[in-house]
Structure 1
Amino acid sequence: MPEVAGPGYERGVRAACLAFLAAVLVVLPLAVSRLLEAWGPVGTLGAPLAADVAVVLAARAYLDRRRPLRPVPEAVRPGGAVRPGGREYVVPRTLPPAPQVFVGRDEVVARLEAGLREAGRAPVLVLYGPGGIGKTALALVIAHRMARAHGDGQIYVPVGDLGSDGTSAERMRHEIAGAYAYALKNPDDELPGTADERIALFRRRAADRSLLILLDDVPPGIDLAGLIPDRPGCTTIITARRVPQGVPGSAVTHEPAPLAADASRDLLRLLLGSDRIDDSDATQTLVDACGGQPLALRLTAAALSQRPHWDLQFAVDSVLPARTRPERLDVSYGMLTSKERLALRSIGSIGEREFTGWMLAAASSADENVSEELAARLARAQFVARRGAGWGRTSFYVEDEVLRYARSRADREDGEQVRRDREEEVTRVRRDRRGRKPGVWVNDQVYRLMREGDLSGALTVAQQALDLAGEQDDRIAQAAACAALAEIFSELGDMPEAEEAALRAITVEHPGSSARANRCNGRIHRRLRELDKAKDFLDEALDFAEEAQDAGERARVLFERAYVLALQGNASAAHGDLELATRLRRSGVIGAETMEPTARWYQGAVFYAGGRLEESAEAFDHARRVSRRLGQCLWEAWTEQAAARVALDRELLDEATAAAEAGLELFTEMRNRYGAAHCRYVLGEIHLAQGARREAELALVEAAETFRACGDVWVERQVAGIVAELTGSTAG
């Protein structure tokens, strides 16, 4: 659902604005990091690292993106595309920070680094071994030591988190190639659709450049042939459970060994402090129980840091079982919450190395959303690995060692009969899912939930429908789910995700889903003020809707195209589309009444684009009343935002404030950051009109940052222009 854009303020990003935002991005997080460090052991474990990661990634992404911008035009008129310009090549630097605490592997680091520097034209290092042994930490340390030798960029690809459906190795190759292409493409380039095109773009961009690539957590079964650069001066580091296919025979392979006892003790001492870690028998017992596994040691330290009143002997007595030979994961398991332990034992009952949230829900007799969260928490603890962190099917992968441990725990604590009951329940739920119709699920639930403002619920249902459609190999239902996801992500302001979902829907070549996906693309490009592109997408959407004989979708496309035509200055054609859409809606379309807020909103938007403010206000007022009567919270929120914009232009500041605040409250309740940013944008301009410059600055800076995060470059630049002028005049 679209926004009503305000007047153009395209004045560029000035130095004062950059200084202010840099302070927000850098100084504040650093201060928080140092404060957390001062709190003691809890802070020393996670908080500084998390804060520093946020500082590095946020500041670097923001400043790198700003520096290469071309001069901004003096004005932006409807029909003129405003996209990020840039120099020919923007150096990618996406490596996460190296671990702050790293012990026991100095000799290994020096040897492997020397081996890479002395290797041939395109050295490759593969670090392999079981989860938790420290492969990623070792890879990051080596990568940062070699970063300066690769001045054209360092690219980090979290391969284990890229898969959006968790099933296809070829799809994972496609995602890896996409990560490469996205890192190296010019700002004005479109991201290619196929894996071959993405690899081709990567090879063109990587030619004659010295790059360092870190492929982290490559799953089994992924063939890396063609994805490892063989250009002179390029270095590739790979972490995986086993050496992947497609790795050149000249690659250096290394399996990190468990930490020695002295190094294990040093790691605990650095994480917990020397006042708690000494040479006592209790310390040695913990070290021995963790078996030299860095993950087990870190988990143990994390739990003990939150229990400062525990001495080590009490921890040993409380956590370790009364057995002469405890297993290596017993300490880590003992540090989990009771719900997490039950989830892990239930995973053992599932009996499969790859599982999804519904499987865990069936095995543990829990809600699916709760099970997803528990699985995610186990993934953060590295008991399992996430295999689908995107918007598609979310799955998890558990290594043989952890699966065996989970099974043994389930048998010891719950009994063999309970384990068999869990297995039977998973089988029953699987059989029940096969009888569901995911396409009907999307049409009956997702769009209703969106209209009602339950965006989280709509997203969950759409994701589950895509998951189920994948299990059933129902491509038409997959397309419907992807089209629905495109709409949801567009509504939430996640432009890249929306475009990717729309692309997947269109590739199925089902006319109904292609119509929705192209309409979504039209809305995205209209928001970016790429109006010619937007109209092309909408023309194509109209053709698909006619092919599908979907009068309701034809009406929705015509409403959107009317707005685009109005922004292009073609008022006659815009009103023609409005009239045709209205006739279609009233010609017996199923759910015609639910489209009334849509019709009135677009009517108001077209009037607004033509400068007919009183008629626009009347249309938005009608849309507000109807959306409230029908319980369509989402349209009500957008109507409040639009009404605030119109009232502001009519200099009715009290009315504008009331509408903008009402819209902001509704969007906040829906957790719709994009809509909330539009309301803050209007509130910032209202504050300016009232002379409240400080309040205006705060609202506009927050709005600009949200638009930047969403990828809405056009509105971001408008808001940043106002902030630049405001802060510049304030400084003067």
Structure 2
Amino acid sequence: MEFRLLGPVEVWSEGGQVPLGGSKPRALLAALLLDAGRVIPRERLIGAVWDEDPPSTARQILHTYVASLRRAFTGAGLPPVIVSHRVGYLAEVPPQSLDKLVFERHVAEARAAAKEGAHLRAGELFRAALKLWRGAALGGIGDSFLRTEAERLEELRLAVIEERVAADLAAGQDEQLIEELGELVALHPGRERLRRDLMTALYRAGRQADALAVYQHGRRVLLDELGIEPGPELRRVQAAILRSDPALLHAATPAARLPRQLPPPVPDFTGRAEELSVLCGHLMKSDTMPLCVISGQGGAGKSALALQAAYQVADAYPDGQLHIELRGTSETPATPEEVLGRLLRELEPPGTPSPGTLEERAGRYRTLLAGRRKLVVLEDAASESQVRPLLPGAGGCGVIVTSRNRLAGLAGAAFLDLGLLPAQAAFDLLARITGEERIAADPDAAWRVVGQCGGLPLALRVAGARLASRRQWTVARLADRLADERRRLDELAVGDQEVRASIGLSYRLLPEPARSALRRLGLLGLPHFGVWIAAAATETGPDEAEQVLEQLVDASLVDMVETDAAGQIRYRLHDLIRLFAAERAVAEEPEQARTAAVTRVLGGWLWLVQQLDAERPTGVIPRRAAGGLAYPLAEEMARTVLADPPAWIRREEEALVVAVELAAAMDLDEIAVELAAALSSVAFEGSQYVFDNPFTTWNRTHQAALAVARRMDNALGEAKLLAGLGQLSYERDLYAESREYLGQALSLFRTAKDVRGEATVLAALGAACREQGYLPEALHFLGGAEHLWAGLADPQAVAHVKRLAGTVYLERGDYPAAQAALAAALSLYQEAGNRRGEGLVLRNLSLYHRARGELEPSLELAERALAIFLDLGDRFMVAYCRRSLGKTLTRLGRHDEARRLLKESLDVSRTVHDRWGEACTLRTLGELHLAEGRLYQAKERLEESLRLWETLRIDLFRGRTLRDLALVHQALGDDALAGSLRAEALEIFRLHDAREHGEPVAL
């Protein structure tokens, strides 16, 4: 168990953090733990909780707080901790479990070591003490007089930092301290001891002028803010520097020259347990020289992970740790000669001259490391050639390299490609930076921020820091600000941390072809993409595009997602990199180039979808080619992309929606219209290229394209999209809405004198009217469509219309007309080699023979149709054929066979959300139960079917179901209800001029 005061007040058990409640119970616990083992009077505890304004019931509330804390402790498997006393309470905790006591013990031991001259040991103990701090002491206690104690602890922490710096200076850690001391002096300009030590470190590093400038700046601060001159110690060091006093130079003993150069670890390091375990496992190998390369995009937390691992394995490298910043992403990366010169100065006695050449420096460096156990951390490497001269020559030493590039050329290295933080770890990191209580107050908003940061640690740190520095902000406010993608990179900036700048470092180092590809991929905004998209965007071949993508992968700006079934690699951009790349595209590329790139990619999709549509056997009217808008792919690439069409179209679904919406946003109305229309042509109608979310995909693409068509006054495009939305409504069984869309489209096609479009919509209106039982209207529209298609010399379109007309004639009981129309449709489909169209007509002919009581021909035709659709893999029409077979088998008395087929049909209809098919199958199951004498089961199924017909507003089939229910109630002995239902059914048949009007009982 752990009790923490040096930061937010927390208690941890093996099972995790123990809930303590609000600020007042935390203040009570903090007051007890500050004097652990001693009785604290109730009056003092009341003051700690309520300061100078306690309520009249403070004693009773105090007792309640104590009870709730005890319950929390025992619930977490801990002892009660808080012990009652006649005058108050005391906290009984093991000293090693309270961070404040551990801190004080480490500090005492460090001071003793420093007094004995063991400065290295003192520095390590001081560091161990300071690692216990997690933020401002006694966090989360609200307004309390304990704030005074928190300020005392903070002052103690600063004093310990000063003592640790002094120990490191005494141990010869001069140059390593300069950066840290600079930051400390900037944060605490009035602390003269820190300023004195910074001056000393700068002087020892040969930077006498900088040391004197630090003094002058400090003098101005003291005069301006306090009106006093610097103290005697600061003036003494200044005077010593002015006279170049050798006493300021530290003659380190060999033991003191052991390098301890690691920067402080990240205090709120979160997650990465698996990666850390792998790294430490490699670094603990004693028989080799472990070389670990951590690569990843900027801001992924490579440095934090490297330092965390370095501190964990530090004891295995007793000869010290070297830390070198290689500046690989800067405009002036460190050269190997420069780095080796610095390393030799660290490792050799002062005044030893360094060799002149790179080879000589590398040789001496390896000689100095031979037989030693040193850990070398090389940060921000640019390339393998920068790293190789800095590697030790033999086993014993370990090396950690961080780089945005993968550095695959480093032989023998263990490579760790650092990805994004998992969602829970990202949430935890945000909470640790922002404060647990603030995040707990609105976890939903916190999850939104985590999603907007995309799991990138730098983005999470910036977001957390912004919240931490703006206490008046809610988490929801930041989430709302980040929701606007146009401002997101602006919001993710605080102090010297900026996500945009971090990505920009990697972008600047790319060759121009890779920068151009990244810009255009960012502009597209796709969730994932294949090589052909990069090729189309950059107007290059697949080989060149793949090479550029590999450069972007090596630079950690593009991720490889998967290899698909066709062996093609899929890539993606992190959301924040995508936003950066899109910004650069707008800033660096002319509008014409951006438009051309987007048009080529969408044209490539359009061309690919056209290939699917051209090869697909269908019963719908063929769609016209899009002409010059399509962008043909290289033959080999197209063959690979379309190797598995169903998998390809499903994989591209989300990207296709984004693409159409992008075209609409860029006012590219023609390509948006054509691509949206093309997608709808492969989405339904029994096609094997069905989307996972067809209704959503169809609606989103059509609505986006419709908006831009109207905005650009593209009347013909608007007509196409309205027709597509009408077809979508038809597929969703929304027939009234379908006819509304189709009616609007018909007017626009006629105004544009687009005969093909007019014929298409007339056929669709005929189908919609047929479904609702508006049979004369259906024949009117289908007649007009057939006339137009005949003039256009399109036999498959004529076959489609004749088939629909044949089914309407069948519904009206005009059997000769039905047989003639269906026979003509069958002949046309067979001549064209359209097997799907043939299967549709065979099923309709099966229904024709069943309606005439010719059950054996009906059965044979339904089986032929089923065989075709099974061969085509069209499960939608397979379900319809099985239902037809089930009904015929029911009438033949083969009930067991019928039941199996109808159950399979019902399962498919429900799976694909086909409410029309579900209602029809339920009615047929009702007929089956009626034939078997299972009257109550028949009633239940028929009533289910009836409710669906009422929802769909399909009156004719509602009438047929009412007639069946009448038979059930008649069999149950309720003649009055049966007569009422039969009368209602007859009226429906009369109104729709259906075949049952003259024969209401037989079907």
TM-score, normalised relative to structure 1? 0.43
Question: If you compute each CA radius of gyration, which structure gives the higher value, 1 or 2?
Answer: 2
Higher relative contact order (CA 8 A, sep 6+): 1
